[in-house]
Amino acid sequence: MTSAEEVKRDELAGFLKVLPPVEFSCVYGSTLHPNNRDKSSMVDYIVGVSDPLQWHSENLKRNRDHYASWMVHVGGAKLITEIADEIGVGVHFNPFVTWNDKMLKYGVVRMHDLLQDVLRWDRFYLSGRLQKPVHILLDNLDIENANSSNLRAAVSAALLLLPHEFCEVQFLVILY
């Protein structure tokens, strides 16, 4: 990793200091592309936690303004976690968070759910995001290693969907 990449990684990881402790964090998406010159684009984080209910309770104390006001007033951490688990795909996103003159969003997921999606494509939501360019910022449970099987599976699926003869562009289009 070059020193410019290390500076960028440290800058991105700085946001984690305003959150309660997490077990995993990465940044993904178009803001990581080397040709992206749009400094106003949103930075996308995924954070993995062992207990989302407890984590959201703590984060509401620290960062109440990260959440939609109706969620805070109607049901708090319990409602946030229930909606993510029962209606959503196991992830609660806080979008349009401003930090260090950057716009970002972060999705909070239970570590078990993240691992199951990466290894088994249970919901194919986060596993799909982790098939894109990703910068791992914190990885206490070696999700990066588990994600290698997700990436191999994505390449295998892409190859199965392509015709007998194909070009690199066709491969990349179907892969991403």
Using one digit for the tens of pLDDT, what is the confidence trace for 110-158?
999 999 999 999 999 999 999 988 999 999 989 999 999 999 999 999 8
pLDDT at 27: 95
pLDDT at 29: 81
pLDDT at 19: 98
Express each pLDDT in 35-76 by its tens digit. Answer: 666 666 889 999 999 999 999 999 999 999 999 999 888 889
Residue 1 has pLDDT above 70, yes or no: no
pLDDT at 56: 98
Nearest to 126 by CA among 155, 150, 149: 150
Count CA atoms within 13 Å of residue 15 on its CB side. 25
Residue 3 has pLDDT above 80, yes or no: no
3-state secondary structure of 19: coil
Q: 49 to each of 46, 100, 121, 154, how far by Cα in Å?
A: 10, 24, 19, 25
d(CA 41, CA 31): 7
pLDDT at 137: 96
- Scored b (16 or more CB within 10 A) or e, 41-51 reads ebbbbbbbbee
Residue 106 has pLDDT above 70, yes or no: yes
Q: Where are the domains of the chain?
A: 4-141
**Fold type of domain 4-141:** Beta Polymerase; domain 2 (3.30.460)
